[in-house]
Amino acid sequence: MKTVHLVRHGETEQNALKVWQGHTNTPLNSNGLQQAKLLSIRLKGRNLKIFSSDLSRAVETASFLSKNIIQRESLREINVGDFTGRSVKDTYTSNNDIFQSLKEDNFEFPNGEKVKEFKKRVKNEIEYIFDNTEEDSESIVFTHGFFIGTVIGLTLGFNNYPFPIGNIENTSISTIVKRETVTQVNKFNDSIHLTMENIDYPAKIKNTALTFIRHGQTDSNLGGIWQGHIDNPLNETGVTEARLLNNLFRDYDLNISSPYKRAHQTLSLIVNDDIQTSNELTEMNLGKWEGLTTTEILEKYQEQFIEALFLNHKSKYGIDGESIYEAGARVEKLINKFENNKILMASHGGTIKSAVTKLIQSPESNAASAFTIPNNLGVSCLVPKDNKYFLWSYNVGKIGYENISYNK
């Protein structure tokens, strides 16, 4: 497996003013410099191959981590042409004609870049990055918001803008992983190095939001055992790590947990308010895979494993268990009972992946493989708007692909 982390550059004055930058060579402002420093502290000690857009705001952000940077013009932001220096709100955000042409894939920034050509550039560049990343190693790419959003949207299977994802924060980390021909989103929009308050920042700035948190570590997780409906408690590490999150998740209308010990115990350690339980938040029924390690599953059920996890979201886990589609549908049914509420939910890796996939309406072609299973205590936030859900963050927490059960 190959891992590529995508990082948006630190803040510039143009970001603060909310004006287009495109290909202009803007530097970081004082806040951006501090953001880059905090990011480098978080990433310190990781063995990363570093790529960067050749624009100064990206190179400057990368330079806090290392001076050994591979600069590439192809990693630049989209060329916004005559929009450069103009207000994003005035030129773009409320422009229905632009949104329609984005949906039809024929928008071209005035004297700038065609979005169709930009998408092609993004696809080619990500393919280049993966080709130049060694197996079982990590690369990091310092680039721009529109570029990262396009990578994430395309990886999730969406072809036409606008994609159902939220605004990408300065110096946030988004991660994609690749196994042979399958590419998945592992992390999106993680900026907790700036402040731990960002662990669920959409819920802090939006009137309604859905926040999922996967339970803490169990002994089955540590042993690489698929537990599904096995009702395990947290182990010592799970308890300790969950306690560190106490009082970070505030101002929710509802706290709902899976009834299983590992989820309910996690939420009890994190919040000090009343907790409801719902069977709709239980882990997926893993059928014949219950209690097996990944190695054992692959020895007995390799074809079915690949089919259910990567190819067909309606294929049942464990032959006679539950599919991603079915698990997502039951969580959606639960959420529909609580419209216009801010909800914090403690659940399980497979169920959270299934719910997020269903709620953002991932295309069927990618619905099985769009996301990896989130890590223990990974936090994912969605925001409703215009009868749709937008993904604002996914698997915020530990960096990289550290799902022990899956890798075993």
Exposed e or buried b per residue across 367-397, where buried means at least 16 C-beta atoms within 10 angstroms of its C-beta: bbbbbbbbbbbbbbbbbbeeeebbbbbbbbb
Q: Indicate if 206 and 175 belong to the same structural domain.
A: no
What CA–CA distances, in Å, run from 241 to 39, 180, 350, 398?
21, 33, 20, 11
Q: Indicate if 43 and 175 belong to the same structural domain.
A: yes
- State the total domains in the chain: 2
Q: Indicate if 74 and 162 belong to the same structural domain.
A: yes
Q: Indicate if 170 and 205 belong to the same structural domain.
A: no
Q: Indicate if 254 and 158 belong to the same structural domain.
A: no
The answer to whether the beta carbons of residues 49 and 132 sit under 8 Å apart is yes
Place of tokens 């806040």: 31
Residue by residue, pLDDT tens for the chain (408 residues) are 999 999 999 999 999 999 999 999 999 999 999 999 999 999 999 999 999 999 999 999 999 999 999 999 999 999 999 989 998 888 876 677 787 887 778 888 899 899 999 999 999 999 999 999 999 999 999 999 999 999 999 999 999 888 999 999 999 999 999 998 899 999 999 999 999 999 999 999 898 999 999 999 999 999 999 999 999 999 999 999 999 999 999 889 999 999 999 999 999 999 998 999 999 999 999 999 999 999 999 999 999 999 999 999 999 999 999 999 999 999 999 999 998 899 999 999 999 999 999 999 999 999 999 999 999 999 999 999 888 999 999 999 998 666 655 554
Closest C-alpha among 186, 154, 151, 148 to residue 167? 148
Per residue in 256-278, pLDDT tens? 999 999 999 999 999 998 999 99
Per residue in 70-110, pLDDT tens? 999 999 999 999 989 998 888 876 677 787 887 778 888 89
Q: Indicate if 228 and 108 belong to the same structural domain.
A: no
Q: Indicate if 220 and 152 belong to the same structural domain.
A: no
Where is 183: in which H helix or E strand?
A: strand 182-190
Q: Indicate if 232 and 351 belong to the same structural domain.
A: yes
CATH of the domain at 181: 3.40.50.1240
Intra-chain end-to-end CA distance of the chain, in Å: 13
Task: Provide the domain limits for residue 115.
Answer: 2-190
Q: Indicate if 139 and 16 belong to the same structural domain.
A: yes
Predicted pLDDT at 136: 93
Q: Name the CA radius of gyration of the chain, rounded.
A: 21
Length of the chain: 408
Q: Indicate if 145 and 107 belong to the same structural domain.
A: yes
Residues 6+ apart with CB under 8 A from 47: 137, 138
Last residue of a domain, one of 190, 222, 245: 190
Closest C-alpha among 61, 68, 69 to residue 33? 61
d(CA 252, CA 71) in angstroms, rounded, equals: 43
Last residue of a domain, one of 153, 174, 190: 190
